Amino acid sequence: MIQLQHVSHTYPNGAQALKNLSLELSADRFTAPIGASGTGKSTVMRILNALVKPSSGSVLIDGLELSIGSLGKLISESIESVDMGQVEAVKATGAHPLQITSHGFWPQVLPLFISYTLYRFEINVRAATILGIVGAGGIGFYLQEAMRTFSNKNTSTILLIIIVSVFIIDSVSSRIRKRII
């Protein structure tokens, strides 16, 4: 299920493409945006594909937020949680500001940065399949087409590709996290 909740988007030139749009797209239905030119169809597709960030509102895929804003929030919280005692200890040794950053600050936040980035990447890989199923393109679109035409070989192959891809990404992410944390 894809949900757009109170999504608005204004382009840098001041043109408002969307205003307070709320809708739900179910994975079991094919959805096609239809409307006159300039009604925001392309903007909705760009938001769903994470090419454009909404000015306000949120995009949820199976209850998880799609936007990069959640990654920014997690990273900013990790920066706020830095133990300033470690930074001050490095500073007390007479270290240069670059050394203070590299030895007092980065060791605390780098594992969290990488962990959160990998987490968002994993979510986005899964979300790409769901987005495609509801008509936004990608491998989910091909899966939907294969299921619609009862092409069992193609459906099985696409599902296998998705499962193996997610497994590999999870495995690699887990190994990276273990090395860093």
Tokens found for residue 103:
């030895």
Output the average pLDDT for the chain. 79
Q: Which domains does the chain have, with CATH numbers?
A: 2-65 (no CATH), 69-180 (1.10.3720.10)
Phi-psi region of 9 (alpha: psi -120 to 50; beta: other; left: phi over 0): beta
Token pair, residue 138, equals 């990608």
- Residue 112: pLDDT over 80: yes
Q: Does position 136 have pLDDT exceeding 80, yes or no?
A: no
User: 72-87: per-residue pLDDT in tens?
Assistant: 777 777 888 888 999 9
What average pLDDT does range 158-180 have in this prediction? 85
CA distance between the termini of the chain: 33
For residue 158, give every residue at least 6 positions away whose Cβ sits within 8 Å of its Cβ, in sequence order, or none: 139, 142, 143, 146
pLDDT value for 178 = 81
H-state helical runs in 1-151: 41-48, 69-80, 84-92, 97-100, 106-131, 139-148
Q: Measured between alpha carbons, how far is 48 from 162 in angstroms, rounded to an integer?
A: 20
CB-hemisphere CA count at 13 Å for 9? 26
Its pTM stands at 0.54
Q: What angle do CA 27, 30, 32 make, to 5 degrees?
A: 125
170 Cβ contact list (under 8 Å, min separation 6):
122
Tokens read off for 109 = 């936040």
Q: Which segment of 78-87, 90-99, 136-145 scores lowest on mean pLDDT?
A: 136-145
Q: What's the whole-number mean pLDDT along residues 122-142?
A: 74
* H or E element, residue 19: strand 16-25
